[in-house]
Homo-oligomer: A and B are copies of this chain.
């Protein structure tokens, strides 16, 4: 499979708008393409498409990617320049989707070492409770029988194991209003919280090794609001704490740890939480993939649907041609050479001849 063929495929996919909630056109396009191909079975669910090869009692491997993108930012049309394919979703993660499509279309399922399925799902970039993969795992319980799921999220051809958990807590510190000329009649919420703000913002970026790969525990004050007028002592300070924690913590552990950082007399409400994805470093298929692909290995600093697969009992990791640091940026691009490299490593692992 040449980079040129894959780049054309990716260019076509980038040019089909698919902002979260509006994935119908790209799901139609994927479905039409896979139906025309003939081999295997296509299942449509909402704005998602699932493909599976005939079962042969071999271990099942799932290739998975979301079809949606964040909103366009002047980058809705694909263009090529200097060996890069620019455009919305080019890295996150239509590059992975294009490689998956090419694998399905070019490999002979009968010659693979695995039973194969692919999931092209909707609404990953939106709120977690509408995530298409969650729905598909409910609707198609056979997906949970897989031996391995590979998320083709952007990793620049590294294997990124697991993923961080994420939690947001809203902390409210109360005071009492007063005219700012007579502050002794009130309690300034900012003054009350200032010492705590200083200590909580000093939370260090802490490396944590889990099954031999490194994650970084982080805590950031991401929003902060107090006061309604220049001449009134503020009676409330509202702080958002964004906490990222390594996969060796449960949500309950993480919440305990987060709450321990907040004085008991402040209000603290956890407003959302996403579990971490487990590091599947010891699963034989994972070790084999890493060895065959000669891939660099790291922890996934950030949240991906590896968490949803490992939460459902399926070993999973991230491996894709895109660049994570270009995700959600106006100048998002994917290195075109990465497409063929990702294709080759996945094809090799799945048991085909080397490309």
Contacts and interface: CB of A to CB of B under 8 A. Distances in A.
A202 B190 CA distance: 10
- This protein's copies in its complex: 2
A50 to B, nearest CB: 29
A301 interface: yes
A164 B325 CA distance: 53
A205 B180 CA distance: 11
A190 B233 contact: no
B230 A180 contact: no
Interface string A281-324: 00000000000000000000111000000000000000000000
Contacts of A229: 222-223
A234 B244 contact: no
Contacts of A220: 180, 183, 188, 191, 233
Interface in A148-167: 164, 166
Interface stretch (A15-23, A56-64, A94-102, A193-201): A193-201
Given A181-B218, A184-B205, A191-B220, 13 more contacts: A164-B181, A168-B231, A180-B242, A181-B301, A181-B303, A182-B218, A188-B221, A190-B201, A194-B197, A194-B202, A222-B234, A224-B234, A224-B237
20 contacts: A179-B328, A180-B222, A180-B242, A183-B205, A183-B218, A183-B220, A184-B205, A190-B221, A191-B202, A191-B221, A194-B197, A194-B198, A197-B197, A198-B198, A222-B231, A222-B232, A223-B226, A223-B227, A225-B225, A230-B271
